[in-house]
């Protein structure tokens, strides 16, 4: 145990030092010489102070991301190695003879421990976001959102864990296949209820107040053959200065949503370009492509998880205090394996996402025929979020689900349209 603990901590510290050196000393984020002075060059639309703050904040945010991910792996590993997971399982068994009650006790205790131990990283993210003027949320409101996160995640995890371990006990060799089959309707169900049950727990949603703008957006949707009757506005200015707009939900619960910060900081033409981008996802059926990709990755991921779990429990089960794969004390091992697999697959999934986002940008240009609004909206998004226009390579492939602002602005500038 001491040897494994030392090796794990040493590997984490060594990784932390290496990623710090990479982000703060080796990786460059400056705009290539060929783009200097263009509309993609942040010096043309950001002040010197904004540029400095952008570099500082981006480096800190990227460092927190790369440190928090293996920190999560370390947490799951130690919960197994020191017998905490096994202890929680026994505690649940001592309180009740009913399986669902034992599962609920375990999941709640496990979720609480993870929440507490991961709290420092969440707080640091909130602290620096507030310090650099991105977050406007007071601490009490931030903690309230954290508590909502905890309970939503607890209920969701309880359902998943109860079903998953029931499948493990019933189908010892093919549990991963049945879990994959059930994940499909569960995902669609969550997408359906999220806009009407989960999202309103965090923010107030209401019809767009600017009816003239709403009519412009609906007219754009009609031109794109998108069935839409309302546009929703969400009060985010009490929490952030960043901007966003999105389409969420499926079927009758689908919604077009604009943050009020977007409405305050962009003009109508820029907002219409952003909305045209979101409509591009709908027209090009990216939601169905995303579901297809999810099904493929989940199938491979669950199969690999089952294979790795069986081998790990067979060889190291005693050291990790796991009596069997179907024992609920193996949950940290499942989460550890899936988290590592998701991280390993993130360059591929992020690449696919960036491709779709670029396609949506092109659609927005063709629908609005307003390249100027596209460029200015992306410049405004960069300033509001203190984003890097040209992030380091590792940051891009592991963090960016959207093309870099350099790529997006240059694509708009070079894209041919009939009317500029």
Burial of 290 (0-12, 13-18, 19+ CB in 10 A): middle
Nearest to 134 by CA among 308, 386, 396, 420: 386
Q: How far is CA 73 from CA 114, 153, 346, 370, 412, in A?
A: 11, 18, 16, 46, 40
Nearest 5 degrees, angle CA 274-CA 277-CA 279? 115
Structure tokens at 366: 């063709």
Write a three-state SS string for 158-197.
HHHHHHHHHHHHHCCCCHHHHHHHHHHHHHHHHHHHHHHH
H-helix or E-strand spanning residue 154 = helix 139-170
3-class DSSP state of 277: helix
**269/195 Cα distance (integer angstroms):** 26
Q: Any catalytic annotation for residue 278?
A: yes
Q: How far is CA 410 from CA 372, 406, 416, in A?
A: 12, 6, 12
Nearest to 407 by CA among 375, 383, 376, 384: 375
Nearest 5 degrees, angle CA 308-CA 349-CA 366? 165
**200/205 Cα distance (integer angstroms):** 7
Q: What is the rounded radius of gyration, in angstroms, for the C-alpha atoms of the chain?
A: 23
Residue 420 CB-half CA count within 13 A: 6
φ/ψ (deg, to 5) at 4: -65, -40
Catalytic residue among 89, 214, 233, 278: 278
3-class DSSP state of 234: strand
> Among all residues, which ones are annotated catalytic?
278
């Amino acid at each position: 145990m001491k040897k494994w603990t030392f090796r794990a901590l040493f590997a984490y510290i060594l990784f932390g030092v290496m990623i710090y050196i990479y982000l703060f000393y080796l990786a460059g984020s400056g705009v290539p010489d060929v783009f200097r002075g263009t509309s993609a060059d942040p010096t043309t639309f950001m002040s010197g102070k904004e540029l400095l703050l952008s570099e500082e904040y981006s480096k800190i945010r990227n460092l927190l991301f790369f440190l928090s991910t293996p920190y999560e792996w370390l947490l799951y590993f130690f919960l197994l190695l020191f017998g905490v997971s096994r202890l929680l399982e026994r505690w649940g068994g001592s309180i009740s003879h009913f399986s669902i009650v034992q599962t609920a006790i375990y999941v709640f205790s496990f979720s609480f421990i993870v929440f507490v131990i991961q709290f420092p990283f969440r707080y640091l993210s909130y602290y620096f976001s507030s310090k650099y003027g991105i977050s406007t949320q007071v601490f009490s409101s931030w903690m309230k959102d954290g508590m909502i996160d905890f309970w939503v995640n607890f209920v969701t995890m309880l359902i998943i864990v109860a079903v998953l371990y029931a499948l493990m006990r019933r189908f010892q060799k093919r549990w991963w296949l049945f879990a994959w089959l059930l994940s499909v309707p569960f995902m669609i169900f969550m997408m359906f209820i999220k806009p009407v049950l989960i999202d309103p727990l965090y923010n107030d949603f209401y019809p767009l107040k600017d009816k003239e703008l709403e009519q412009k957006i609906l007219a754009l949707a009609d031109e794109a053959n998108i069935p839409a009757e309302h546009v929703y506005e969400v009060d985010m200015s009490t929490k952030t200065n960043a901007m966003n707009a999105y389409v969420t939900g499926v079927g009758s619960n689908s919604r077009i949503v604009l943050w009020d910060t977007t409405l305050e900081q962009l003009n109508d033409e820029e907002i219409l370009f952003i909305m045209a981008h979101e409509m591009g996802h709908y027209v090009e059926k990216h939601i169905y492509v995303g579901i297809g990709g999810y099904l493929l990755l989940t199938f491979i991921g669950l199969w690999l998880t089952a294979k790795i779990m069986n081998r790990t429990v067979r060889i190291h089960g005693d050291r990790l205090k796991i009596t069997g794969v179907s024992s609920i004390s193996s949950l940290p091992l499942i989460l550890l394996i899936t988290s590592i697999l998701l991280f390993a697959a993130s360059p591929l999934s992020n690449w696919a996402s960036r491709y779709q986002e670029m396609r949506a940008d092109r659609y927005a240009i063709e629908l609005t025929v307003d390249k100027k609004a596209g460029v200015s909206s992306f410049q405004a998004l960069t300033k509001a979020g203190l984003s890097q226009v040209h992030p380091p390579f590792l940051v891009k492939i592991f963090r960016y689900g959207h093309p870099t602002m350099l790529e997006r602005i240059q694509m708009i500038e070079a894209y041919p349209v009939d009317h500029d």
